[in-house]
């Protein structure tokens, strides 16, 4: 199964794709039926101003997500013409149509691109993926830089979520509200930090959370929940 948003991801290389050009992503309709996206812990400070941040179980791990809507297949931040109505766009969305992959049996990162992206090799496509010498051009190098930092920051996020699990701070949660049409909607399957459990942490643990930066992330999560009212 392909990752969310991606129709036909292929490994990018200078031989097969040397003449390819791309449009800058300005139309986010590819994400209009997504009501949540993965969020890295380094994004919390900016994301907390606009999105509710909750957690979900992903196989044997827990990951943070930004809620984009309270109905399935509905992203309230994507307007009909594809405009993303928020100052901060999560990195998972911004990286499209690029995506990282690891070479089988190794930790080596490879850059892939979605051949299904509508802005590839069109009349409006002006940004070259490779320069005349076969080296990554500006847009490709930017994608490489983003995905390298994405991979590193993802490890930090994994450690943060594991800390929440180790301290048994998470509890099941349900989010919901009334839509603009007056329909009452409720969605389950989420996790949040329990304020009751958090308040019972001893001073030593709180100091450790402060020193590691985890405390700041927990408070960002708490503050972000006020944004639920914007998803009605």
Torsion of CA 132, 138, 139, 144, to 10 degrees: 100
The whole-number pLDDT of residue 188 equals: 76
pLDDT of res. 101: 83
Whether the full predicted model's pTM is greater than 0.85, yes or no, is: yes
pLDDT recorded at residue 189: 83
pLDDT (tens place) for every residue of the chain, 232 residues total: 678 899 999 999 888 898 899 998 999 999 999 999 999 999 999 999 999 999 999 888 999 999 999 888 889 999 989 999 999 999 999 999 999 888 777 777 889 999 999 998 888 888 999 998 889 999 999 988 888 888 889 899 999 999 999 999 999 988 766 555 666 666 778 999 999 999 999 999 999 999 999 999 999 999 999 998 888 6
Nearby residues of 178 by Cβ (< 8 Å), 6 or more positions away? 184, 185, 232
What integer pLDDT is reported at residue 130 of this predicted model? 93
Query: What are the helix (H) ranges across 18-170?
Result: 44-47, 91-94, 138-166
Domain coordinates in residue numbering, the chain: 9-231
Residues 227 and 54 sit within 8 Å (Cβ to Cβ): no
Please list, in sequence order, all residues whose beta carbon lies within 8 angstroms of the beta carbon of residue 95, skipping any fewer than 6 positions away: 143, 146, 147, 150
Backbone φ and ψ for 115, nearest 5 degrees, come out as: -65, -15
The H or E element containing residue 219 is helix 214-224
Query: Cα–Cα distances in Å, from 20 out to 6, 60, 119, 120?
Result: 18, 39, 11, 7
DSSP code of residue 120 = B
């Amino acid at each position: 199964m392909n990752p969310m948003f991606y129709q036909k991801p292929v490994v990018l290389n200078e031989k097969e794709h040397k003449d390819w050009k791309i449009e800058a992503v300005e139309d986010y309709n590819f994400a209009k039926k997504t009501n949540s996206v993965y969020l890295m812990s380094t994004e919390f400070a900016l994301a907390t101003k606009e999105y509710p941040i909750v957690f979900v179980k992903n196989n044997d791990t827990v990951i943070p997500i930004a809620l984009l809507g309270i109905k399935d297949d509905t992203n309230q931040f994507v307007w009909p013409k594809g405009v993303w109505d928020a100052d901060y766009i999560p990195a998972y969305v911004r990286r499209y149509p690029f995506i990282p992959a690891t070479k089988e049996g190794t930790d080596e990162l490879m850059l892939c691109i979605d051949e299904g992206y509508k802005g590839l090799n069109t009349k409006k496509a002006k940004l070259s993926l490779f320069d005349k010498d076969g080296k990554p051009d500006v847009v490709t190098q930017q994608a490489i830089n983003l995905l390298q930092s994405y991979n590193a920051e993802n490890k930090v996020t994994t450690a943060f979520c594991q800390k929440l699990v180790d301290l048994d701070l998470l509890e099941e949660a349900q989010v919901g509200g009334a839509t603009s049409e007056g329909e009452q909607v409720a969605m389950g399957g989420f996790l949040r930090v329990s304020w009751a459990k958090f308040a019972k942490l001893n001073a030593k643990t709180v100091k450790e959370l402060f020193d590691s930066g985890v405390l700041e992330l927990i408070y960002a999560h708490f503050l972000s929940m006020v944004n639920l009212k914007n998803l009605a």
